[in-house]
Structure 1
Amino acid sequence: MDQLAQAFGFSYDVRKADIDEKAIRHDEPAQLVMALAHAKADAILTLLRSEAAAAGPGDRPGAGAGASADDSVAEASTSGGGGAAAAGGAAARPSFLITCDQVVVHEGLILEKPEDADQARAFIRGYARSPAQTVGSVLCTRLGGGSAGGGGGGDVRIGTVENCTILMDPLPEEAAEKLIEEGEVLWCAGGLMVEHPLVRPHVRGIEGGGEDSVMGLGREAVMRVLVEAAEAGADAP
């Protein structure tokens, strides 16, 4: 997200979506991750509007909209003339909320975060048997009223789903154990961390996207939904 913000001239804040992910279920991975992205957007919008009401007129909390990989949500607002959806002046500057979710699909099963070290170990070993696929949603909400608090109505939502296939060689046992000892894999869908220095040398290829997409926040997907939401908001009455 930092690279996007620098390249396209917008600022962003990160927020936490406090939802019960286990309460949202669906047999279809694409529909599951999109439902979770919508639930995160609803939760963050409630928080932003509560903050806006508490702050009062003219004291806007946060900069605008957001980006979320998995649990966290970032809010970002466009600024200047080179952003994805730049507005003419500060008062008219649009704000966007970007929420995301991702699962790993392997051998017909939807894998979310490992419950424990044993499950993480089983996930990691399985990826050498057959390729894993990441299914990730990116949802952009253009906030009505052009502020973090929104205007009560007028929000526009544009979403997309990315599918990537990861081809991996077997990960050495010592590398897998080191990953589990570090603990970060327990917070990743399927315990899959292609960007980790212990894992990257064993990734033979990624089909359907890049490493950023596998990590849960593909740059191209983010820019696409930002632009589409900005254009849809501009056309809205």
Structure 2
Amino acid sequence: MVSKNPPFKIILGSSSKARREILAEMGYEFTIVTADIDEKSIRREKPEDLVMTLAEAKVVVYRGTIREKPTSEKEAREFIKGYSGSHAAVVGSVIVTNIATGKRCGGWDSAEVYFLEIPDEVIDSLIDEGITFNVAGGLMLEHPLTLPFVDAVVGSADTVMGLSKALTEKLLLEAL
């Protein structure tokens, strides 16, 4: 494991609240610097290729289809109803660049989430709250309205939330 007071600065290239929280949980201090890019203009067929290309994103894969942030109430409802009593996979990536040496290390990780039946009133509440439009696939695993309907997670919860701790630690060590 990398020292929690490393002799280097960490810059998180993401505005994701979940990624900030996970990196802080890992004991790191960091600065946030994000790029102003249109992620929707970058397309790849395979989710693993897409997340590596975006380098700071995660995508949800449902029945072979990549799902990013829903763009309408109709799409959000369709996403969440689809997960109800079913499952989806989350694919996320991490890229670490050592600015001093130029060495760049990257990888992807995935996890599956299995859901119980999600009642319509819960779906309505999630959509009304608006958070569903800010997350890939339209659902936050850790949200108090979602969590009771998560039957199982195969893989790590931090991967589902947007930043695999194990992969991040591995890539930090490799980049040094």
Task: Give me the TM-score of the superposition, normalised by structure 1.
Answer: 0.63
Match of 2:157 in 1: 211
How far apart are the structure 1 equivalents of 2:98 and 2:139? 31
**Which of 161, 177, 181 in structure 1 is aligned with 2:108?**
161
Contact kept in structure 1, 2:86 and 2:116, CA below 8 Å: no
Q: Report the alpha carbon displacement of residue 129 of structure 1 after superposing the two structures with TM.
A: 4.8
2:88 to 132, 139, 151: 132
* 2:43 counterpart of 1:25: yes
Question: Superposition RMSD on alpha carbons, in Å?
Answer: 1.2
User: Could you give the per-residue CA deviations for residues 55-80 of structure 1, whole angstroms, max 9, x where no partner exists?
Assistant: xxxxxxxxxxxxxxxxxxxxxxxxxx
| 4+ residue runs over 3 A deviation | none
Distance 2:124 2:59 in 1: 22
What is the aligned partner in structure 2 of residue 66 from structure 1? none
Deviation readout 1:81-138 (Å, 9 max, x if unpaired): xxxxxxxxxxxxxxxxxxx210000011110110111101100000125310001111
Listed as ranges, the gaps of 5+ residues in structure 2 are: 1-22
Cα distance in structure 1, aligned partners of 2:85 and 2:157: 21
CA contact (8 A) 1:107 1:130 kept: no
SS in 2 for 1:35: helix
Deviations 1:181-232 (A, max 9, x none): 111110101102111011111111111x2211101112111111111111xx
**Is it true that 1:187 corresponds to 2:128 in the alignment?**
no
Matched residue SS, 1:16: coil
Q: What is the number of residues matched between the two proteins?
A: 154
Q: Which of structures 1 and 2 has the larger relative contact order (alpha carbons within 8 angstroms, sep 6+)?
A: 2
SS of alignment partner, residue 104 of structure 2: strand
How much has 1:174 moved relative to structure 2? 1.1
Q: Does 1:119 align with 2:75?
A: yes
Mapped pair 1:220 → 2:166: yes
